[in-house]
Amino acid sequence: MTFQPLFPHLTGHNLAVGWAPFDALQGESDPDEWQDIANAAPPRQKEFIAGRQLVRALSESLSLPRHALRRAEDRSPVWPADRAGSLSHCKTLCAAAVGRHPHYRGVGIDIETIGRVDSKLWPTLFTDSEINYFTSVEPALRDAETTVFFSAKEAFYKCQYPMTQQWVGFQDVELQRVDSATLSIKPAKRDAQLWHQPPIHSFQVDAAHIVTLMLIPA
C-alpha cells in the first residue's frame, strides 16, 4: 500500500504522517473494525476502510504491531496504549498521523478542501481578530487561508481531546500566523494551558486540499 508522506521535517522513528486517495486505500477490513460500520452506507464504509488502512500502513512504518482501531461511542478512534494518533477525511482523500507512546501525548490532523469556508460562516467559525486578518489577505489567497484556519482549529480539537475530554468551540480559541507553514493558538477567554503551546503546521498537498497537524510531545 502506498501513501504520500507529510511533514518530513517532523517525522522519524517515533512519528509517521501521510495521505492518500480513498481508492488507493481499499482492501480487506479487520473483522473487529468492520463491526463498527457493517450497517453504514457504502460511501461511509469506503471512507472508514481508507482511514484504517492508512493508519495500519503508518503504524507498520513505525514497526508497531497490527491492532484493530475500534470506534468509541462518540465515534472517535480508540487508539491502543502504545500509540497516539489522528485521522481525517475529506470527499476523496484521507490523512492520518501515528506517534509512538510515550513520545507523544496528543496528535491532531485534519484535511480540508479549499473553498468550503464561505464568508457567511466566518462569524460562527472565527473571532473578530481572525476576521480582520482575513480582510487584509489578498482576495486570491483568502479561500486557502480561511481553509487553513478552519482546519487548524479542527486539528487542535483532536489533539487536545484525549487529555481534556472537552469539546472546544470554534470561537473558544484564536489563531495567528507565525510564518507560511505554522500557526499559533491561544484560548480566547481563558488562561493558556499545555495544549495551547505547540505550533500547528500546515501544508497544501495539491491545488485543492490543505492538511494541518498539531503535536503535543510528552
What digits encode the pLDDT tens for the residues 107-135? 999 999 999 999 999 999 999 999 999 99
Reported residue count of the chain is: 218
Q: What DSSP character marks residue 47?
A: H
198 phi/psi in degrees, rounded to 5 = -70, 155
Buried b (16+ CB within 10 A) or exposed e, 6-41: bbeeebeebbbbbbbebebbeeebbeebeebbeeee
Which residue type does 53 have?
Q
Q: Which three cell numbers stand for residue 90?
A: 475529506
The pLDDT value recorded for residue 199 is: 98
Q: pTM, whole model, 2 decimals?
A: 0.95
3-state class (DSSP) for residue 99: strand
Q: Which amino acid is at 26?
A: Q
Which residues make up the CATH 3.90.470.20 domain(s) of the chain? 110-217
Mean pLDDT of the chain: 95
CATH domain 110-217 topology:
Ribosomal Protein L22; Chain A (3.90.470)
- Per residue in 31-74, pLDDT (tens digit) is 999 999 999 999 999 999 999 999 999 999 999 999 999 998 88
- Strand, helix or coil at 75? coil
Q: What is the mean pLDDT of residues 155-163?
A: 94
The pLDDT assigned to 115 comes to 94
Confidence band, pLDDT 50/70/90 cuts, at residue 1: low
At 55 the pLDDT is: 96
Higher-confidence position of 26 and 157 = 157
